[in-house]
């Protein structure tokens, strides 16, 4: 980038970065989801030379506890045997003063869902689309505070060590104006 000032270079980098981020999110990833097969591993070549590989992972399902209070209330109502009393410290201004003298009285009982139950519930929701109630055989799909979602299969590009040289050699023959939303400009 000879002949450009530092602020011009910064502006160009900002412009290209914004264009590429938008291009990836708005065009390339949706196109990849439509056209590329999950599990595929595809070579990337320029001028017949290998520059890297595109790997398309399979979509993954995730389950998260998005609202702890709603989840705990639901479990307490429906599966009270899965709620246990644990101990925690409830911090108040009075307690801070009291802790200077008597530490044990700072321990207070609280109820929380058993870790093992949450682990089984989340695994069921992830793998089966709902919690399988072992006692009734019911598949429970509407669980307050629990969200099941699918992560898209986002292609991953792994470049070869000499990818810069391979792409650089092909650079002059590439027309990137459409991809970067660059105006054509005037011929001189």
Answer yes or no: do 161 and 110 share one domain: no
Answer yes or no: do 41 and 64 share one domain: no
Q: Is residue 188 part of a domain?
A: no
Answer yes or no: do 105 and 138 share one domain: yes
Answer yes or no: do 78 and 141 share one domain: yes
- Ordered per-residue pLDDT tens for the chain, 188 residues: 568 899 999 998 998 899 889 989 999 999 998 999 988 999 999 889 999 999 999 888 889 899 999 999 999 999 999 998 887 777 777 876 777 677 765 666 678 899 899 999 999 999 999 999 988 999 999 999 999 988 877 899 999 999 999 888 888 787 776 776 666 555 54
Q: Is residue 183 part of a domain?
A: no
Answer yes or no: do 157 and 142 share one domain: no
Task: Give the domain extent around 94.
Answer: 60-150
Q: Is residue 165 part of a domain?
A: yes
Q: Quote the number of domains for the chain.
A: 2
Answer yes or no: do 122 and 169 share one domain: no
Whole-angstrom distance, CA of residue 111 vs CA of residue 76: 9
pTM for this entry: 0.53
């Amino acid at each position: 980038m000879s002949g450009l000032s530092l602020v011009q270079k910064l502006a160009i980098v900002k412009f290209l970065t914004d264009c590429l981020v938008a291009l990836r999110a708005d065009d390339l990833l949706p196109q990849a989801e439509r056209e590329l097969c999950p599990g595929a591993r595809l070579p990337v070549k320029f001028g017949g030379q290998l520059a890297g590989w595109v790997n398309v992972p399979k979509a993954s399902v995730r389950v998260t506890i998005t609202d702890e209070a709603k989840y705990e209330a639901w479990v307490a109502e429906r599966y009270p045997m899965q709620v246990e009393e644990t101990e925690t410290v409830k911090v108040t201004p009075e307690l801070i003063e009291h802790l200077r003298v008597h530490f044990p009285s700072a321990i207070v009982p609280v109820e929380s869902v058993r870790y093992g139950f949450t682990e089984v519930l989340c695994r069921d929701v992830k793998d089966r689309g709902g919690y399988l109630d072992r006692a009734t055989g019911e598949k429970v799909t509407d669980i307050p505070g629990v969200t099941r979602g699918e992560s898209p299969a986002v292609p991953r590009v792994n470049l070869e060590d000499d990818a810069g040289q391979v792409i650089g050699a092909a650079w002059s023959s590439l027309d990137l104006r459409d991809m970067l939303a660059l105006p054509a400009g005037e011929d001189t």
